[in-house]
């Protein structure tokens, strides 16, 4: 493929205009040579006119032929034919020397650089020799003119090629940056989808799933009590109805991404007290809640995380621990807040808990969700347990300094 075919697709309007000017220069110089030969009444005027017309026709034919545009060999043959006819014109009239300048550009454009430079040098020598033969003299001006023209042509073409390579590098860089930007946007969208999916999974596990489990236990207890203790069964049914109403409120809450209803109605210690009382009513466990330290306001994400972790921990205790007593302690410290949930149940081996979703019913997801909540707030969650020795779960979250009040724009102004 020729250099012309490689660069046609990326020509700017300015470069197309320059190419058109080159073609017009060839036509104008051929017309000048023919007109001067006829006007001066030279004996070679008919031959000059015929050669000029033939050279113009051959020059116009080159860009039209697809073979010349796509094949280096065909382009070289066409260029050789143009140079041969030009040599005939140069032999007939000294005005043919002016055509050497546009021919330099054509040679540098069509041929590889290793062949174009010798071709330009040969054309320069032919132009000098032809003009000297017609004038019968070889002066400094005769030599400097074609040499300077060749040097200018080489400098212009090499400069254009350097600019073209730099432009191509920038174009490729822009394409790579655009592609990387698209991939980054797709990755961010995928990460956002995964994060939202994980949030919904945690919310469903800590609210709807636990609430439905409580409803199931209450209805099962009511079913057993119906024949002999209808009043007890009615109480279980009422508790199940209350749990269903609470679950509906939770579902609407996390669909709207609002804070839990328990936190909207009061503080975190009060919400934990209500949670422990509800767990004790529905499960029959002795659940005790206490607060250590002076309660301090916490950011909403911290309160939501601690409440959800407490819900999940108590639900695990009810479903899996076979415990009789649970102690829940909320501790306020200077720079941290801690939540401890300790039961006297059957215990387990923490290292043997299956990964989330690998067991029946999504076993292992509760602990993974609690750890994810703590990690999202730069906190830690530790679980200590052994078969027959109960379970202790401790989560610690760093608290922002309440005295570190952000500087207002007015205070920051000079």
Q: For position 258, what pLDDT does the model report?
A: 54
Q: What is the 3-state secondary structure (H, E, C) of the chain?
A: CCHHHHHHHHCCHHHHHHHHHHHHHHHHHHHHHHHHHHHCCCCCHHHHHHHHHHHHHHHHHHHHCHHHHHCHHHHHHHHHHHHHHHHHHHHHCHHHHHHHHHHHHHHHHHCCHHHHHHHHHHHHHHHHHHHHHHHCCCCHHHHHHHHHHHHHHHHHHHHHHHHHHHHHHHHHHHHHHHHHHHHHHHHHHHHHHHHHHHHHHHHHHHHHHHHHHHHHHHHHHHHHHCCCCHHHHHHHHHHHHHHHHHHHHHHHHHHCCCCCHHHHCCCHHHHHHHHHHHHHHHHCCEEEEEEECCCCCCCHHHHHHHHHHHHHHHHHHHHHHCCCEEEEEEEECCCEEEEEEEECCCCCCHHHCCCCCCCHHHCCHHHHHHHHHHHHCCCEEEEEECCCCCEEEEEEEECCCCCCCCCCHHHHCC
- Predicted pLDDT at 163: 83
Task: For 248-273, write each residue's pLDDT tens digit.
Answer: 777 776 666 555 666 766 789 998 99
The pLDDT, as a whole number, for residue 254 is 64
pLDDT tens profile 51-89: 889 988 888 887 777 777 777 788 888 888 888 998 998
pLDDT at 414: 29
Those residues of the chain that have pLDDT short of 50 are 1-10, 359-363, 404-414
What pLDDT, on the 0 to 100 scale, is given for residue 332?
A: 93
Q: Is the pTM of this model over 0.75?
A: no
């Amino acid at each position: 493929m020729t250099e012309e075919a490689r660069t046609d697709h990326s020509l700017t309007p300015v470069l197309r205009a320059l190419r058109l000017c080159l073609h017009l220069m060839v036509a104008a110089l051929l017309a000048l040579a023919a007109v001067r030969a006829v006007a001066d009444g030279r004996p070679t005027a008919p031959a000059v006119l015929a050669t000029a017309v033939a050279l113009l026709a051959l020059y116009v034919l080159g860009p039209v032929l697809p073979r010349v545009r796509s094949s280096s060999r065909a382009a070289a043959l066409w260029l050789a034919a143009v140079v041969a006819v030009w040599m005939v014109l140069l032999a007939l009239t000294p005005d043919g020397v002016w055509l050497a300048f546009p021919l330099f550009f054509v040679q540098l454009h069509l041929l590889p650089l290793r062949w174009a430079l010798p071709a330009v040098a040969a054309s320069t020598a032919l132009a000098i020799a032809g003009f000297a033969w017609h004038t019968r003299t070889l002066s400094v001006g005769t030599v400097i003119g074609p040499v300077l023209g060749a040097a200018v042509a080489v400098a212009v073409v090499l400069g254009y090629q350097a600019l073209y390579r730099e432009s191509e590098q920038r174009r490729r860089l822009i394409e790579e940056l655009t592609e990387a930007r698209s991939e980054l946007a797709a990755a961010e969208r995928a990460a956002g989808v995964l994060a939202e999916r994980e949030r919904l999974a945690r919310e469903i596990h800590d609210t709807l799933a636990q609430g439905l489990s409580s409803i199931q236990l209450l209805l099962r207890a009511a079913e057993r009590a119906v024949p002999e203790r209808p009043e007890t069964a009615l109480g279980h049914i009422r508790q199940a109805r209350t749990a269903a109403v609470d679950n509906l409120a939770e579902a609407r809450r996390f669909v709207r991404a609002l804070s839990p209803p328990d936190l909207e109605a009061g503080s975190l210690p009060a919400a934990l007290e209500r949670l422990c009382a509800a767990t004790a009513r529905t499960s029959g466990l002795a659940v005790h809640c206490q607060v250590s330290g002076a309660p301090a306001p916490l950011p909403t994400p911290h309160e939501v995380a601690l409440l959800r972790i407490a819900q999940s921990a108590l639900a695990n205790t009810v479903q899996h621990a076979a415990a009789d007593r649970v102690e829940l302690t909320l501790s306020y410290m200077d720079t941290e807040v801690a939540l401890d949930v300790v039961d006297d149940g059957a215990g387990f081996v923490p290292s043997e808990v299956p990964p989330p979703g690998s067991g029946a019913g999504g076993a292992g997801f509760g602990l993974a969700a609690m750890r994810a909540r703590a990690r999202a707030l730069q906190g830690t969650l530790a679980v200590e347990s052994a078969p027959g020795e109960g379970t202790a779960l401790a989560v610690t979250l760093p608290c922002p300094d309440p005295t570190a009040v952000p500087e207002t724009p007015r205070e920051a102004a000079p």
